[in-house]
A and B are shown apart, each in its own frame.
Chain A
Amino acid sequence: MSWSQVLELIQNILITQTGIPHVTWGQAVMLLIGLLFLYLAIGKEFEPLLLLPIGFGIFLVNFPLTPLMGFTEHGTPELIRVFYKYGVEWEVIPCVIFLGLGAMTDFGPLIANPKTLIIGAGAQLGVFVTYIGVLFFGFTLKEAASVGIIGGADGPTTIYLTAKLAPHLLGANALAAYSYMAMVPLIQPPIMRLMTTEAQRKIKMSQLRYVSPREKLLFPLIAITLIVLLIPAVAPLMGMFMFGNLMRESGVVKRLSDTAQNSLMNIVTIFLGLSVGATMQAEVFLNWKPLLIFGFGLLDFVICTFGGILTVHIMNLFLKDKMNPLIGSAGVSAVPMSARVSHVEGLKADPNNWLLMHAMGPNLAGVIGSAAAAGMFIAMFQ
């Protein structure tokens, strides 16, 4: 073998089997974006459970020639494509996460004050406003619905709906939803203060009534019956959610409940984060749509917060015992962050005003409301 042949061989290896010559500007930018989200997750602790695997997923798949998100010559999916295909594309992971969330949720504050369900409905205003807004920018109906649901502030619901309606927007939508959920303490307070007076923020709400274990046990059965009869399309999400809650409240399957809350939830979170991050490949992600999605996602959160507070103001016109409008912002389903924001804002107005459990009602209603909105959208396209 001559030196020229050796050199040719080395050249061929370098060109065809290493990634360096194939790095594009787009990939370089995506690598930086991946690093940025890793920084936010690790350095700033912004939603680390999700942003860390998402950030690493973005980082990993944007190296050239990596056999991660494609298919082999024989049509076999590569590693992360397998997670994506069976977890996200088949809509398994969001439902399993809902199972875990159900097992984690104590519906006591919502059962004690069912009126707060209306706040959860009012806080979906942004979902529909955004849906119309993005249509003006050339999005299709399905894309618009998947972008609109970001304001519902529910990660699994966003992923579930987007995977169903507009899978090509999955990365951008999930990232926008989780990023803004992490920023709830920054986004909501100015709107809350703008929409309430000092006197309204000082409104004290009466102690919530005692909810018996039997009532908590029956709640998932009553709720799933009514919801699924009215919106059958939401059965996968709500069914898993209420099943998880039933396991929790029954008290007889503690092991299953613990597994759903912890091990199972953590396992699917890893696969979900990696899969979602891996959808953000430069050639798919870098166009004008993610820009708009981030912009409208923020608007969506703002309008949902506005909608929740406005709903409380309207309800107060008819209620004898007034509600503190600060709990309206908790109608977005960022549990329990937005309830905590309501509580802290209430304490600022009056250090003796303890709104936390009152805000948990609309917060849990928001979970049901955003799932109902998702169900409405799914039904619309059937």
Chain B
Amino acid sequence: MIKIYKKGVHAILNIKVLSALMIYSLVLFSITLTTVYASSNDKQNKNSMVSGQELEKPKPVFTRNGGEISAKLIPRAKSTSVILNFKVTKGGKLLDVKGMDFEKAARPEVDIKNYKSALFVVQIGDVSPAGSDATVNISSDFFASGTEYRVFNEKLPKPWFNSECHNVASKGRVRELMITVKDGGPFDSDGQANGSITFVGGPRDSFWGYALGTLFIRFFGIFLVLSVLMIGMMLSGVVFSRMEAKKAEKESDAAANDDLDTTTDSITEEAVEETQFVEAEADSADTGSEETGLDADASIDTVEDYEIAAAITIAMHLYFESSKIPEYTEAPAYVKPPVSAGMQPAGAGQTAQTNTWSNDGRAQMMRDRLQAYSRGNR
């Protein structure tokens, strides 16, 4: 704990962290000050409160098609429009459907987020006999199996309640909500059994259920997508690796054959003119074994050659790069590695495996490779 505490204090005392925190505190403080000022000024407050709820308020557009009225709207938390179809299937005639502002029905116990597709005022007439039931049918592919239809009647002590509608699947992905409304009953806002029903309410879906459910599905969806991509890349990697290996094998075979031909030619030149084809073949086999011996020697040389080549490469690289202004020295202080990282000319932090010269060379090459990715965080 003490160690963590010390580390924390050390980090906080780090001047870069401190300066960054101060800058951001300044921004936040200035915004807070202005927010307080704005809150005290009604006019400015009205302008400043850009509310997402307000921007996402559904604005239904109604069209009538015979006995059916359709409401087209962009629900909250959606970017594309949906259509809700209203009709009265039994006991009356659909007169009109209107949208209603949620503010008029807002109550502390009701969360607007659960009502994604606005509230509707459904007018039903010709209910005969007066006081009897009418069946309202609302269908849409926007409804889910858990969608309820809540009724609002401000004349009741508890104005919001569940209509206990029948939620049934229809053709395609369409679901129908069937609600029985009694003239003069609790669902009828005019409260009178007069042959006319005013039915106010709206479809309700659980906001938090949707938000949390979709969260997990989509987070694991990203894993799924990238896993599929990973598998695709692994498979293609295997294919390409084999192709490259075959290609390399062919090239090495061709190179070996070339060497063999060259050696054979030279021996043939040195050989007596009357040498028979069979003898020449035998000679070539011997030459092959000699060649193997030469290869073994060459492999010993290659290790040293690699070392020399690497040293020359790094030396040349440093030489040529020294004529340029290295990006590294121009970079902001916070991207430069510390001396302890072994990338500075000083000898600190070095082990038997490393020295300043080689580390500088490697660091320089890494930086140059990294330039390919430099995008200024755009």
Interface hub of A49, A120, A351, A373 (most chain B Cβ within 10 A): A351
Instruction: Decide if B24 touches A294 in the complex (CB within 8 Å).
Output: yes
Q: Are B211 and A351 in contact (CB under 8 A)?
A: no
Closest Cβ neighbor of A135 among chain B residues: B211
Bitwise interface map of A from 347 to 360 toward B, beta carbon under 8 Å scored 1, else 0:
11001101011001
The stretch of B58-66, B229-237, B252-260, B293-301 in contact with A is B229-237
- From known contacts A106-B372, A284-B48, A381-B77, infer whether A344 and B341 are also in contact, taking CB-CB under 8 Å: yes
- Interface core residue of A33, A114, A156 (most chain B CB under 10 Å): A114
Query: How many A residues are at the interface, by size bracket?
Result: 35 or more
Looking at the complex, which one of A155, A182, A193 makes contact with B7 (CB distance below 8 Å)? A193
In the assembled complex, the Cα of A122 lies from the Cα of B334 at a distance in Å of 26
CA distance A314 to B232 in the complex (A): 22
Pick from A2-10, A206-214, A321-329 the stretch touching chain B.
A206-214
How many angstroms between the C-alpha atoms of A200 and B376 in the bound complex?
A: 30
Across-interface contacts of A223 in B (CB, < 8 A): 229, 232-233
Contact digits for A103-144, partner B, Cβ 8 Å, 1 yes 0 no:
011100011101101101110110010011001000111111
The answer to whether B211 and A373 have CB atoms under 8 Å apart is no
Closest to A110 in B: B233
Q: How many residues of B contact A (CB 8 A)?
A: 84
Interface centre among B80, B229, B341 (most CB of A within 10 A): B229
Q: Is B88 an interface residue (CB 8 A)?
A: no
Contact indicator B80/A382 (Cβ below 8 Å): yes
Complex Cα–Cα for A334 and B374 (A): 10
Q: A340-B370, A380-B214 are in contact. Are A183 and B20 (CB under 8 A)?
A: yes
Give Cα A7 to B233, complex, Å. Answer: 78
In the complex, are the beta carbons of A26 and B222 less than 8 A apart? no
Contact A105 B215 (CB under 8 A): no
Interface stretch, picked from B26-34, B168-176, B187-195, is B26-34
Closest to A144 in B: B211
Residue A165 lies at the interface, judged by CB distance under 8 Å to chain B: yes
For residue B48, which residues in chain A have a CB less than 8 angstroms away from its CB? 26, 282-284, 286-287
Asked whether any CB of chain A lies closer than 8 Å to the CB of B161, the reply is no
Please tell me if the beta carbons of A25 and B34 are within 8 angstroms of each other in the complex.
yes
Interface residue? A21 (CB, 8 A): no
User: Given the complex of chains A and B, what is the CA–CA distance between A106 and B375 in angstroms?
Assistant: 12
Contacts of B214 in A (CB 8 A): 380
- Known A226-B232, A347-B337: A101·B378 in contact at CB below 8 Å: yes
- Let me know if A368 and B77 touch, CB within 8 A: no
Complex interface: stretch among A12-20, A39-47, A65-73: A39-47
Closest to A190 in B: B11
Cα distance A122–B224 in the bound complex, in angstroms: 11
In the complex, chain B residues whose CB is within 8 Å of the CB of A231? 221, 225
What is the CB-to-nearest-CB distance from B302 to chain A, in angstroms, rounded to a whole number?
18
> CA–CA, A142 to B79, complex, Å?
9
B25 to chain A, nearest CB (A): 11
Complex Cα–Cα for A347 and B340 (A) = 8
> In the bound complex, do residue A118 and residue B230 qualify as a contact, i.e. CB atoms below 8 Å apart?
yes
* List of A residues within 8 angstroms of B28 by Cβ: 291, 294
Contacts of B292 in A (CB 8 A): none
- Give a binary string over B359-378; 1 marks a CB under 8 Å from any A CB, 0 the rest: 10010001001101111111
Most buried by B among A141, A222, A340, A372: A141
Is A82 an interface residue, CB under 8 A from the partner?
no
Does B366 lie within 8 Å of A356, measured CB to CB?
yes
Q: When each residue 26-54 of chain A gets 1 if its CB lies under 8 Å from chain B and 0 otherwise, what string results?
A: 10010011001000100011111110000
CA–CA, A114 to B219, complex, Å? 19
Q: B49 near A: Cβ within 8 Å?
A: yes
Q: Is A118 within 8 A of B226, CB to CB?
A: yes
Question: Which among B20, B32, B49, B229 is the interface contact of A117 at CB below 8 angstroms?
Answer: B229
Whether a CB of chain B sits under 8 angstroms from the CB of A290 is: yes
> Would you call B370 and A354 a contact (CB within 8 A)?
no
A296-344 interface with B by 8 A CB criterion: 334-337, 339-340, 343-344
Q: Is B354 an interface residue (CB 8 A)?
A: yes
With A168-B55, A336-B373, A376-B221: A131-B234 Cβ-Cβ less than 8 Å: no
Q: How far is the CB of B378 from chain A (nearest CB, A)?
A: 6
Point out the residues of chain B lying under 8 angstroms from A363, CB to CB.
373
Contact A168 B337 (CB under 8 A): no
A104 to B76, CA, bound (A): 39
Binds A, one of B122-130, B303-311, B345-353: B345-353
Nearest-CB residue, chain B, relative to A290: B31
Contacts A344-B341, A351-B349, A369-B222 given; does A181 touch B240 at CB 8 Å: no
Inter-chain contacts of A354 with B (CB < 8 A): 362, 366
Q: Is B50 in contact with A24, judged by CB distance below 8 angstroms? A: no
Instruction: Kindly provide the distance from the CB of A347 to the nearest chain B CB, expressed in whole angstroms.
Output: 4
Give 30 pairs: A residue, B residue, CB < 8 Å, sorted on A. A26-B37, A29-B33, A50-B377, A100-B375, A106-B372, A114-B234, A117-B229, A121-B226, A121-B227, A132-B212, A141-B77, A142-B79, A155-B378, A190-B11, A209-B241, A210-B244, A215-B236, A222-B233, A230-B228, A269-B378, A283-B48, A284-B47, A286-B38, A287-B35, A294-B27, A351-B342, A351-B359, A352-B353, A381-B79, A381-B80
Given contacts A128-B219, A140-B76, 6 further A-B contacts (CB under 8 A): A26-B38, A118-B227, A135-B211, A169-B52, A286-B35, A336-B374
A interface residues (Cβ-Cβ under 8 A, vs B): 24-26, 29, 32-33, 36, 40, 44-50, 97, 100-101, 104-106, 110-112, 114-115, 117-118, 120-122, 124-125, 128, 131-132, 135, 139-144, 155-156, 164-166, 168-169, 178-179, 181-183, 185-186, 190, 193, 209-212, 214-215, 218-219, 222-223, 226-227, 230-231, 265, 269, 282-284, 286-291, 294, 334-337, 339-340, 343-344, 347-348, 351-352, 354, 356-357, 360, 363, 365, 368-369, 372-373, 376-378, 380-382
